[in-house]
Amino acid sequence: MNQNNWEIVLEHSCQLGEGPVWDAEKQRILWVDILPGEIHSFDPVSREHWVFKTGQMVGAIAIQPSGDLIAALQHGFHAISLENETVVPIADPEVHLPGNRFNDGKCDPAGRFWAGTMSITDEPGAGALYMLDQNHSVSVKVDNVTCSNGLAWSLDHRLLYYIDSPTRQVVAYDYDVHTGTITNKRVVIQFEEADGFPDGMTIDEKGMLWIALWDGWKVVRCNPNTGERLQQIDLPAARITSCTFGGASLDDLYITSAKTGLSQQELAEQPLAGYLFVVKNTGIKGVGTPEL
């Protein structure tokens, strides 16, 4: 089933829009523009758009109970207060790898922050997936990663779903919510070359995965138990990067995109590349975002 009733959220184009997070308390959508190191905030009611510059590339953010953020920046994990405009370092597990940067990240059901890295020059296998615990200790969960991307946890908290984009796969691990241990890796969804590359993803109240397809012009909803593609949302930009549910009822799907790396002709053909889109009233709800 195709769904094409997307809307532009606001008149702004990111270079590499990513990592949308719904802030339920403030009823606003947050997302990042990785390359210029910006965190964006937009209130759908007041229409206020606010941009915070972190001073380095920013891959992902998560909301803490205080309302402040944990962020995966180019040089490690940081605590960020948008209200006070402060950036405080926590830990940099790749201080010895200056050619890497952090990419996608998300909180797990226990409130730990998971985020992965990649080479700025796309060197194969140069990245890893890390877990930042509440005590700010950092552990490596997956190594030999090329482009660490989408993360989601099953509704029963027994599985971690994970994407290393060039593999064109979504894999599942058995997940222990008490320790954060992952084991027993297996492929649950395989994409074809014509689909593009799986990027960011989110999970809905039915346990189905919504996966953004880089160079695929779409978001697809898939059943991770069968690999079946259930529906798709076709979009006016090729480089679709991630998605999350938001809105008062958590049934609006916010979708980020990018324009980085597109040729002049492609940019002319995709005037909305880099925009934030929303599909309202999808009829399906997301699940609340865990907080660190």
In a domain, 81, yes or no: yes
Q: Alpha-carbon torsion 218, 32, 289, 95, what sign?
A: positive
Question: Is 68 an annotated catalytic residue?
Answer: no
In a domain, 291, yes or no: no
- Considering the candidates 199, 204, 251, 252, report the single residue annotated as catalytic: 199
* 149 carries a ligand binding annotation: yes
Q: State the pLDDT at residue 100.
A: 97
Please tell me the distance from the alpha carbon of residue 118 to that of residue 129, in angstroms, as a whole number. 9
Please tell me the distance from the alpha carbon of residue 21 to that of residue 133, in angstroms, as a whole number. 20
* Domain membership of residue 10 as a residue range: 2-279
Structural domain count of the chain: 1
Burial of 47 (0-12, 13-18, 19+ CB in 10 A): exposed
Angle value at C-alpha 54, between 49 and 59, nearest 5 degrees: 90
Query: Domain holding 204: CATH number?
Result: 2.120.10.30
* 103 carries a ligand binding annotation: yes
Q: Alpha-carbon torsion 46, 47, 48, 51, what sign?
A: positive
In a domain, 286, yes or no: no
In a domain, 292, yes or no: no
Kindly list the averaged pLDDT for each block of 10 residues, start to end, along the chain of length 292.
82 98 96 98 97 98 93 98 96 96 96 97 97 96 98 97 98 97 98 98 98 98 97 97 97 98 98 98 88 50
Instruction: Evaluate if pTM is beyond 0.85.
Output: yes
In a domain, 262, yes or no: yes
In a domain, 247, yes or no: yes
Q: What contacts 91, CB < 8 A, 6 or more positions away?
A: 76, 77, 132, 136, 137, 138
* 199 carries a ligand binding annotation: yes
In a domain, 289, yes or no: no
* 101 carries a ligand binding annotation: yes
Q: State the pLDDT at residue 65.
A: 85
Burial of 223 (0-12, 13-18, 19+ CB in 10 A): middle
In a domain, 290, yes or no: no
> How many C-beta neighbours within 10 Å does residue 264 have?
7
Residue 207 C-alpha from the chain's centroid: 17
Q: Which residue has the tokens 């796969």?
A: 169
